[in-house]
Structure 1
């Protein structure tokens, strides 16, 4: 169902690698899947295939393609977790937004695709917020996005629906950051926030030690309903 592809970056920068999963039948819309800091690993590919099974074309771009193309890491292996933190430090989120714009352009080039959504995890959750403030994405969802509290001055630019999943025990996004996010975004008419009491960062991973089945299934159901409403 899925295959490795490349698509054109903006400004002639080159070709961005990605994993594209295509439905067997009619395409409802497209969804960009922005990974955590572990690359387009088996869990992210599984998420793409899950969206394709529901009728969406799903594209996971390689967000580290400029400096660590093709990397796939396992967060349950301490050495690989440390390697991932190093890539996170190198990542340029402003260039990441340009890559999302390139992915939107690529997907809208397919016949029959009118709407494009985005779902992101961890660093990808931050990019979901930035996509909502800086691009014309039709709808976006962020799971345990990091550093959003430092970008709330951009919230006025959110023009399309945005949903954020916030685990209250997230050891990367503490109580003060969560309060800032709620204070700024709860009143916003286009933003929906969901808290997950006692859950930690990574609770909706497809596989591995961080996953919480009940929390993941609830968040994923809300995401499916959100995209069904806003993408079709």
Structure 2
């Protein structure tokens, strides 16, 4: 069971984060980057899962700069509110400042990996490009806004996961990422839709989620040890 802590970004802004600690010495640190729905029960559960896997997990509340305590529903209203905060109210520079602060906290556990979902998948891609001095590996799930950042070269080892049935992220975009950066491991999961990792959503795909998690754990074991 984790706890809510407070972090301070390089520009002086304070925000909350959910921190979950492993039993025994950590294998490393993991920053868990939220979907557009906030640091909700699912994201806290993901952080708890990485703690159970032996990592010090930190899930920063990246919406706190706009509104504290955001936890949205998986419905049209929640999507509208979350998208506005993520894409209209925040800049990527602000988000990177907060991810950097979370990575500094997670580094108490050793080398740091970043994993993110939906909007967080895009954040993972950008973090792999901009924060490679702090993070040793990244794993991004169904990041739909990577193309606008495509010319930012991921310097940290990066995995990307996409569903073949995710109509919000055309496969031509996925293929464009793989072609532009051949050193990035891009995985496509047959039959999986957007949000396939989230067991609170109708699109949950346990087989794809399980395989993606095992690939992510192997990736982190290789680069964070």
TM-score (norm 1): 0.91
Q: Contact (CA 8 Å) 1:44, 1:206: kept in 2 or not? A: no
Match of 1:165 in 2: 161
SS of 1:141 mapped into structure 2: strand
Q: State how far apart, in whole Å, the 2-side matches of 1:57 and 1:114 are.
A: 9
The alignment status of 1:83 with 2:81, answered yes or no, reads: yes
1:192 equivalent in alignment to 2:185: yes
Which residues of structure 2 form unaligned runs of 5+?
none
Q: SS of the counterpart of 1:55?
A: coil
Match of 1:141 in 2: 139
Q: Give the conservation status (yes or no) of the 8 Å contact 2:36–2:118.
A: yes
Task: Tell me if 1:104 matches 2:100.
Answer: no
Alignment-derived partner of residue 176 in structure 1: 172
The corresponding residue for 2:14 is 15
Q: Distance in 2 between matches of 1:160 and 1:83?
A: 31
Shift of 1:74: 2.0
Between stretches 86-95 and 199-208, larger displacement belongs to 86-95
Alignment gaps of 5+ in structure 1 = none
Shift of 1:68: 1.6
1:225 lines up with 2:221 in the alignment: no
Q: Supply the RMSD in Å over aligned alpha carbons.
A: 1.4
TM-score (norm 2): 0.93
Number of paired residues? 222
Q: CA deviation at 1:82?
A: 2.4
Measure the CA separation in 2 of the matches of 1:208 and 1:200: 11
